[in-house]
Structure 1
């Protein structure tokens, strides 16, 4: 009788879970249909695997668990639609920037999106995600909706835990001895942090290609970005007190509002284009209007308020350093009044830096400072287009012309063909 009761309860629980998941899928279907009726572009409503499938690029979804319990979703494009030869090894990992997700590599479409272009060049392409964004809001024990501890992270934890976990997963899954790494902005700074904090991980990467790589942000020109970051720093105690730990999530009021207005072609081509220029710098004709309509469906993708505060701090110091908790807490945690700097000399990986002259977020002066502190820079390539800015890396229609050749040049030097099929 007791066993029968347990069996019935188990069936009921499984039924409720199935029903709940089914209800979520039904709600997702209804929401999508409603938004399509309102004029949202379909691509802005699709996730990574849906987008790649739509354009004929089969992809896989993989789950990575970090040492401290964060559950990350990463993706792999099995074979590019235009890839006619053998797949090249080792695997290539693409890491997104602040407030972005892996979707950023697809938003400009198959002709310009870097994930598409690299898989078309027959690379085993992986697109990572970090804790706190749309694809990284799960944990073994913590609930992001109710547990403040989930959101107690900055780039330090992303570099110390997320990057090693993703790299180890790819190596184990593919049985490869190493990978090649392409880091965009924060995706590069967290690599530097990994090398500084986790001994031996640089040895698992053959070449690092930094696209507008972020480190110190002393000379950032973007006034709007400075104001947003400062607002988070000034409001940090209040936000924490009232229970706001997540910054600019996908599905939040900021993202939903921008996506609503920018769904309109004319508004996207005027107001929304101007808004992007306020964050970075103007580059007329670089991003297609359709790309703007799509990217606002995936951006901002979220991070922690604490991470935004770290970025605000980085605007006011002349170094690339840990989170500043104040002199008393710094003494307790670091043993010094000021937070220690990350050890950039630990990034011994052969490194290529690609940057733009018109980048208002990671400006040329800070790029030069970074390259002077890295011990193994193969080349610092400055894009010839004098208007090339930070957001162009993910969203420009000129990607194939302005940065892809340089990326492929170095990937080719550190890759080889394999007969293994996918």
Structure 2
């Protein structure tokens, strides 16, 4: 049984008297642009078209501090993750300091569900992508658009979770982009997934079976926005302490790491207004392959198509020796997805030794990198130190 089904069953089986259904807070309902306006900044929205036709929304809050800075989100997430903490958020903090801030989206999420020719509701072709395409096409298109718009030669970037993996994909497969990225801050770095622990490792091992079921059911898009199931989950998970205890403590914490000090019940309701958002089934398949094969490698289609795509029977590993831009890795000891042992593997294969920091709070988890209530105390000093180093 997947976590979505478990959440629904646990919540609907509770006595009705425990629920006092209430409207979600304003910040849970506002989109990126509306949140920017609420917290004092006008937001530009740009459509960026990738080489293969996907149309992505790129948000921009203009500034003049040391060139453009692009932020990229994780899996099942969107640019919203960098602004939902309001005045404490990445976007507002950077904008208040005068940075020229851009927040990108990858194909398939609520800000990337468009294509020049393909219909996301008309079959699997739109959803035939993984994090590889998000790096090779999406990140490249976003960077090129920003450079063309600003007249700059290079930008600085910050990625979280999958937002780091797509950087490693792009910089290793299109090494010319190492010159276009002046420096890259990787929050909760994801490349190698050799040391996952239950329940994440259990799901990864069984994903081949789960994937067959989802494929047979025609589920190429996962967690479609505004679907009945997702709307119900977000509603029920927003119901005060009950929703917090069931959805965050029991369901999400084993995946991300448990940290009740930094994700409080009131803010959990805001998170559930923006997360999760849709992605492709193939994205999870690709991550499961990385974990199962213990290789940060391209998508495994099977031997026949592998030979057609790659001219070899197994997919090639991403050549991280080609990643030469300045990198700052920031990891958390309580992160169940970006494990410190796996970050250590990444550090050893990068040709230039990256700046490296493990967050001091021992409970710092995967979500805390974008949502903790004390990011200004523990995280931002290292962000600004790294940005300064890139200069």
TM-score above 0.5, yes or no: yes
Q: 8 Å contact 1:66–1:165 — kept in the other structure?
A: yes
> Which residue, 58, 65, 68 being the options, matches 1:88?
65
2:24 paired residue number? 40
Deviations 1:143-180 (A, max 9, x none): 00003211110111111100110000011111111100
Write the distance in 2 (CA, Å) between the matches of 1:345 and 1:389.
29
Q: CA deviation at 1:238?
A: 4.2
User: Secondary structure of 2:87's partner?
Assistant: coil
Q: CA deviation at 1:287?
A: 1.3
Q: In terms of Rg, which structure is larger?
A: 1
User: Secondary structure of 1:323's partner?
Assistant: coil
1:178 paired residue number? 154
Deviations 1:192-218 (A, max 9, x none): 110121131111011111001100111
Q: CA deviation at 1:249?
A: 2.4
* Alignment of 1:385 onto 2:361: yes
Consecutive unaligned residues in structure 2, runs of 5 or more: 1-20
* Alignment of 1:353 onto 2:337: no
2:225 paired residue number? 250
Consecutive unaligned residues in structure 1, runs of 5 or more: 1-36, 80-86, 416-422
2:238 paired residue number? 263
Write the distance in 2 (CA, Å) between the matches of 1:260 and 1:231.
29
Write the distance in 2 (CA, Å) between the matches of 1:259 and 1:109.
20
User: Secondary structure of 1:377's partner?
Assistant: coil
Q: 1:388 to 1:38 in 2, by over 3 A?
A: closer
Q: 1:238 to 1:272 in 2, by over 3 A?
A: closer
> Which residue, 152, 165, 188 being the options, matches 2:141?
165
Deviations 1:279-333 (A, max 9, x none): 2211121113222101111111111001111111122122100111223332332
Q: 1:268 to 1:118 in 2, by over 3 A?
A: farther
Write the distance in 2 (CA, Å) between the matches of 1:72 and 1:152.
16
> Which residue, 229, 236, 258 being the options, matches 2:211?
236
Aligned length: 370
Q: 1:237 to 1:198 in 2, by over 3 A?
A: same
User: Secondary structure of 1:316's partner?
Assistant: helix
Q: 8 Å contact 1:250–1:298 — kept in the other structure?
A: no
* Alignment of 1:102 onto 2:79: yes
Q: CA deviation at 1:228?
A: 4.8
Write the distance in 1 (CA, Å) between the matches of 2:74 and 2:38.
24
Name the TM-score, length of structure 1 as normaliser. 0.84
Q: What pairs up with 1:333-372 in 2 under 5 angstroms?
A: 333-372=309-348
User: Secondary structure of 2:74's partner?
Assistant: coil
* Alignment of 1:53 onto 2:37: yes
Deviations 1:247-277 (A, max 9, x none): 1222234432221112222224422331221
Q: Give the CA RMSD over aligned residues.
A: 1.7
> Which residue, 306, 310, 313 being the options, matches 1:330?
306
Q: 1:219 to 1:252 in 2, by over 3 A?
A: farther
